Structure 1
Amino acid sequence: MAKMYRFIFILPVNSSAISYVQSSGFKVIELPLLELSRRPLQNLIYFPMLIYNSVKLIVIAIKYEVKVIHINDFYNMLGLILHLIFPKIKLITHIRILPNRYPRLLKKFWLWVAENLSNNFICMSYAIKKELSSNTKCEVIYDMPLDNEKYPAPKFLKLNNKSNIDLLYLSNYINGKGQNYAIEAFAKAHRINSTIKLTFVGGDMGLMKNKVYKNSLIELSKRLNIEEYVSFNSFEEDIERLIKNYDIVLNFSESESFSMTCLEALYYGIPLIATDCGGPSELFQHLRSGYLVGNKNIDEMVEGILYLSSSEIIRSEFSINSRKYVRKKFRLSDTILKFKELYAN
């Protein structure tokens, strides 16, 4: 679409996405964007920074003759302010996070403002759309950034006579991402199938609360006497290679609007066990291309781990089915076509 439209990306100062966007040939402008948080000191400067960034955005809109502003996510007030000042600039609000993650009153206010002032409303998944009022006209457009593979598809049958079944949990160490449930479920499953091993891969984002959470996971594995079979690793750059080195991928998050990790596992053909916590249930067919378990339901997690670890044939079938399913349902060409139609209108 770069041949049809000029795109300008407004990103937070020092964002890790800046180099990637620039390398793709797009203009990037950095602003000191700030969100409301649970930290009182940050909230004190939220509104002054909102005013500052709004003025900067107005200057950018005038300089580049902006026609459309596409806001990522519903709590982002910058786009609404610009649209109020310049009503001719069309506003697209793109919801990528489950609204129920926010305090009820704040969520209701943000959604009411976004619904009533946006020209178009987009949801990343049907899980998000279900949380909106029935009168909200929201089009679901899936993200699909995956369109190629660097390495061969996995083969589970006769795979070098492996003695262990390797489980991967790919997620940053954040409370609510479900690693604690994985450890408890793994401990129970390991008593029945001693061939399974579990590896966590992720980062703490430099935050003390995440470091504390990671340490609590390590302590939990020790208390359950499974530390010999559980590893805690840092984030890795080559996600495809990482995922394809494992037999099963776990994702027991408490809340996900979509889950790129789940999509990557399915796309690359590694059997997935995921919680029914929002978006993941839209990504596969239970017992055919993935295994869905109840949110926070450790017994069902144990059943899923034992089921998929019991048979190479089952894992091979899941792998083949998941690769076919996501390539048919989440095509990049479909996503591009929908955005073309959206911008053209």
Structure 2
Amino acid sequence: MILKNKKKIRIIIGSLNIGGTEKQLLEIINFLAKKNWEIELITLKEKGFLINNLNPKIKVTNLNIKSSSKITNLFLIFYKLFKIFKKDSKTLTHFFLPQAYIIGMLAAITASSKCKLIMSRRSLNLYQNKYPLSRIIEKLLHKKVSKILVNSEAVKKQLVTEENVNKNKIKTIYNGINVKYRKKNNEFKNLKIIMIANLIPYKNHEMVLNSLKIIKNKLPKNWRILFIGRDDGIKNHLLKLSKKFRINKNIVFKETKNVNNFLKDSNLGILCSKEESLPNSILEYLSYKIPVISSNVGGCREIIKNKRNGLLLKKNNSLELSKAILYVLKNKNIAKKFSDEGLKIIKKRFTMNKMVNAHEKEYLKYVNP
């Protein structure tokens, strides 16, 4: 009896710490494990918090590199991956995030691996401006990789126009989300704004504070904005700004692993980043029927259709954001329309089921061609 090729895949990523990419990956591999795929997850740094939610069938290999020297770290990661590819040169391998892609691909090529290799690009390539060498290396590696998966058409366009990738090598698979909407009161008697974004300059929290300063006297008495995300070094600056603008009593900062209860209690979602690929935070807002105001950047416009299921604004425009907040606040029927249409688009295009099945479909092309 002739057996089909075993469904086997190797995933390489920095860690499974909490992040948008990591959460999506967790859903993918847990789904595959239930369907009897043999999976090895290789983490380059620490295992990460989300490891606790991993299906026990999944083999985890942590390279556990702890040198104080960055150069030594990179070399040791490369060497360990080289040995892995030498030992097993046939298993389908999927790289997530730039470091895993660059080092992993170089290791696979050096080891003369015959593996089919897939890369996921899940952000715009603006990080390459800070690391120009990575742009040169990645453009060379794109020629060797079997497939590139992206989570927005905005990312695909960049790869084609700026990195010379053949569009036929790229597949767009949108992020997925579990629909968690529970009927709740979306009235604006108490305005409760939520912004889920790590405290990083490009997420533009400062612009949001500027907008709220402009309209603070026009908002309901007990309005509140909740900033949820990891502090990457700007929290103290934002706190000082909020005090300067005399809105600090209305600002709450929260670093949490579970945002569901906060989403249930919010009635306006904001994301005003200077750049985005396809933000999970907007999907989370819409899944809870929260009307959304977003900057018109990257893949945001692939989720939000302006004035249909939310508002899209020019980036970095405090005055436009302040007007948009008041517009949604004063027009309850429009806010409800945004909420209803938002949930519809989630169910139609951005479900978790669609996302994980699309990944398996791509993998099967290489496991059982």
- TM-score scaled by length of structure 1: 0.85
User: Partner of 1:242 in structure 2?
Assistant: 262
Deviation larger for 334-343 or 263-272: 334-343
Cα deviations across residues 279-305 of structure 1 (Å, max 9, x unaligned)? 222112111111111110112111211
Q: 60, 73, 79: which is aligned to 1:49?
A: 73
1:166 maps to a residue whose letter is K
Where do residues 106-117 of structure 1 align in structure 2 (5 Å cutoff)? 106-117=133-144
The Cα of 1:246 is off from its aligned counterpart by: 0.9
Find the aligned partners of 2:356 and 2:330 in 1 and give their Cα distance.
40
Cα deviations across residues 90-143 of structure 1 (Å, max 9, x unaligned)? 110110121122227324313312311111111121111121234523211112
Which structure would you say has the larger RCO, counting Cα contacts within 8 Å and 6 or more residues apart? Answer: 2
Find the aligned partners of 1:163 and 1:231 in 2 and give their Cα distance.
17
User: Partner of 1:19 in structure 2?
Assistant: 52
The Cα of 1:78 is off from its aligned counterpart by: 2.7
The Cα of 1:24 is off from its aligned counterpart by: 5.8
The answer to whether structure 1 residue 331 and structure 2 residue 351 are counterparts is: yes
Find the aligned partners of 1:58 and 1:280 in 2 and give their Cα distance.
38
User: Structure 1's 267 and 68: CA in aligned 2 closer, same or farther, altered over 3 A?
Assistant: same
Cα deviations across residues 193-242 of structure 1 (Å, max 9, x unaligned)? 344432222332xx5xx1xx1111111112222223x2232223331221
The answer to whether structure 1 residue 152 and structure 2 residue 185 are counterparts is: no
Find the aligned partners of 2:261 and 2:268 in 1 and give their Cα distance.
14
Q: 262, 286, 291: which is aligned to 1:266?
A: 286
Unaligned ranges ≥5, structure 1: 35-40
User: Structure 1's 71 and 245: CA in aligned 2 closer, same or farther, altered over 3 A?
Assistant: same
The answer to whether structure 1 residue 73 and structure 2 residue 113 are counterparts is: no
SS in 1 for 2:160: coil
SS in 2 for 1:86: coil
User: Structure 1's 313 and 296: CA in aligned 2 closer, same or farther, altered over 3 A?
Assistant: same
SS in 2 for 1:117: coil
1:187 maps to a residue whose letter is K
SS in 2 for 1:116: coil
The answer to whether structure 1 residue 298 and structure 2 residue 314 are counterparts is: no
2:112 maps to a residue whose letter is F
Find the aligned partners of 1:294 and 1:262 in 2 and give their Cα distance.
17
Find the aligned partners of 1:115 and 1:63 in 2 and give their Cα distance.
24
The answer to whether structure 1 residue 321 and structure 2 residue 321 are counterparts is: no
The answer to whether structure 1 residue 226 and structure 2 residue 238 are counterparts is: no
SS in 2 for 1:154: coil
Find the aligned partners of 1:202 and 1:163 in 2 and give their Cα distance.
26
2:46 maps to a residue whose letter is V
The answer (yes or no) to whether the contact 1:155–1:316 under 8 Å persists in 2 is: no
Cα deviations across residues 65-92 of structure 1 (Å, max 9, x unaligned)? 6511101124432321233123311110
Find the aligned partners of 2:310 and 2:264 in 1 and give their Cα distance.
16
1:72 maps to a residue whose letter is F
SS in 2 for 1:132: helix
User: Structure 1's 291 and 329: CA in aligned 2 closer, same or farther, altered over 3 A?
Assistant: same
The answer (yes or no) to whether the contact 1:308–1:314 under 8 Å persists in 2 is: yes
User: Structure 1's 119 and 14: CA in aligned 2 closer, same or farther, altered over 3 A?
Assistant: closer
Q: 40, 45, 52: which is aligned to 1:8?
A: 40
RMSD between aligned residues: 2.4
The Cα of 1:271 is off from its aligned counterpart by: 0.9
Find the aligned partners of 1:173 and 1:270 in 2 and give their Cα distance.
22
Find the aligned partners of 2:47 and 2:37 in 1 and give their Cα distance.
26
Identity of aligned residues (%): 23
Find the aligned partners of 2:289 and 2:224 in 1 and give their Cα distance.
19
- TM-score scaled by length of structure 2: 0.80
User: Structure 1's 95 and 112: CA in aligned 2 closer, same or farther, altered over 3 A?
Assistant: same
Q: 172, 190, 199: which is aligned to 1:164?
A: 190
Find the aligned partners of 2:356 and 2:49 in 1 and give their Cα distance.
24
User: Partner of 2:237 in structure 1?
Assistant: 216
1:18 maps to a residue whose letter is I
The Cα of 1:14 is off from its aligned counterpart by: 4.1
